[in-house]
Amino acid sequence: MLSLNKLISSNILLLGKKRTTFSRKEFVDKELRRSGAFGSYAVASSTIKALDAYAISIDYKDIDEYLKAIKAELQEEPESDIALRMLDDFSAHLTKIGKMPATVQAYVSKAKKYMRLVHAIRLSKEDMKDYVTMPVDVESDEEKEPLTKDMIINVVNCSNGQRRKAFYMFLKDTGSRIGEGLQVKKKYFDFSVTPTRVLLPKSIVKGKKRKRYVFLTHETDAFVKPVLAKIKDDDLAFTSNSNIVQACAAERDAFNYMRDKIGLTEKYEHNGRFKITIHSFRAFTYTESKLATGDADYAHGYVGHDRYLVTYERIADQTKIDFFYRCVPRLSIFEDTVVLSNDELKEQYEKRFDEQDKKINTLLIALNLAQENKIKIS
C-alpha cells in the first residue's frame, strides 16, 4: 500500500490503458493546489477518512485495500459493476450514520475522483446516475440565520488579540473566504487611496483565475493599521502560520470557541449545523452590499463568486468606489456613517448654493431700500 507520507506517482495498466496514479497525500495536495481553497482540502481529507471508516466496517484494513480488490476483479471482468455497487453502498453507509444529503453528495463525488486518480478506476456519469442512489436534500422551512451587527461587535470585542479582531473586521468588509483573508500580505494594502484598497491576487483566491480588489471602511482601517505597523511588507497580515491548511483550521477552532463563549450556539433543526459560523461574515458582506446597492450581480462579484467576476472586473474603478461608499453605512458596525452618492452630493451643493443666492438677493434688496429711504440697517 502507498504510504501517506510519501509522494509517489506510478504508471499502471488498466484495461489496456496506461494511466498515472497518485498517492493519498498527492491526491489531497492536488485538491488544494487546484482550487487554492481550504474547503476543497478539507472535503478531500474528510472523504478519505469516511472511505476508510466504511472499508473497516466491512472488514477491510482501509479503503485502498478494498479498491485494490475491486481493481483486480475489474481486470479479470471489465464489465463488472462492483465499483458502482461499492459507491452506492458507500452512499447508503453515509446516510445511515447521519450525514446530511449535501455532505453525502460531496463525499461520493470526491470518492469517485479518488478512485480514478489513486486507483485508475474510471466510472462514467451515466453509470453513476443509474447505479448510485443519492439522498434527496429536502428543503427546510427554517429561515437562514443572519450574522447581525450586534453579533459581530460581540465577537470582535470578546476576541483575543488585535490581529484576530482586525481579521474579523477585514472579513466583514471584504466578504473574502477564510483562506483568502489569511493569505493577504501587508504589501497588498494600499492606504494611499480612499477608501483603502486591498489586492487579492489570483494566486490566493479560490480557483486561482482572477484577481480582485476589495475595500475597507474607516473603522476597519483603525483596526488593521496597528497590526500592519508591526510586520514587514512580505509578511502575512492576519496569521504567522504560512501553512494555509493549519492556519484555516486554527481560525475555525478559535471562532468556534468564541461562538460557544458568547452563546451563539443555536443549530438548525433539519441538519444539526450551527446557524452562525465563521463563513457567516461572507454572507453578511454579500447581503449588506446587495441591500445597499440594489445590485445582486455587484454583490456577488465583490465577494468573489466566480460566475460574476468577469462582470465585476468590467466595472470602472471609480464606479466600484461609488458602489462601496453606498455600502459603508451597512457594513460599518461601530460608526454611524452616512455616505451620499455623487448625485446626492451634487443635489445638496446645488440646494445650498440656491439658498445662499436667495440670502444674498434678500440682502441686496434690503440694502437698496435702505439707501433709497436713507434708513440705517442695524
Q: Give Cβ neighbours of residue 130 (< 8 Å, ≥ 6 apart).
A: none
- Do residues 124 and 79 touch, judged by C-beta distance below 8 A? no
Closest CA to 132 of 67, 68, 66, 86: 86
**Residues 162, 260: one domain?**
yes
Amino acid at site 28: V
Distance CA 159, CA 157 (A): 6
Does any domain span residue 2? Answer: no
CA 273 to chain centre: 18
**Residues 212, 360: one domain?**
no
Does any domain span residue 337? Answer: no
Can you list the residues of the chain whose pLDDT is less than 50? 1-16, 338-342, 345-346, 349, 377-378
Q: CATH no. for residue 293? A: 1.10.443.10
Does any domain span residue 142? Answer: no
Amino acid at site 11: N
Instruction: Name the domain count of the chain.
Output: 3
Closest CA to 104 of 113, 115, 91: 91
pLDDT digit string, tens, across residues 104-146: 999 999 999 999 999 999 999 999 999 999 988 766 567 788 9
- Do residues 296 and 311 touch, judged by C-beta distance below 8 A? no
Do the bridges between strand 17-22 and strand 212-216 make them parallel or antiparallel, or are there none, so unpaired? unpaired
**Residues 166, 296: one domain?**
yes
What helix, strand, coil percent values describe the chain, rounded to 5? Answer: 60, 5, 35
- 20, containing H or E segment: strand 17-22
Amino acid at site 335: E
**Residues 116, 195: one domain?**
no
Which residues span the domain enclosing 369? 342-378
CB under 8 Å, gap of 24 or more: what pairs does 59-62 form? 61/1, 62/1
Is residue 236 classed as helix, strand or coil in its secondary structure? strand
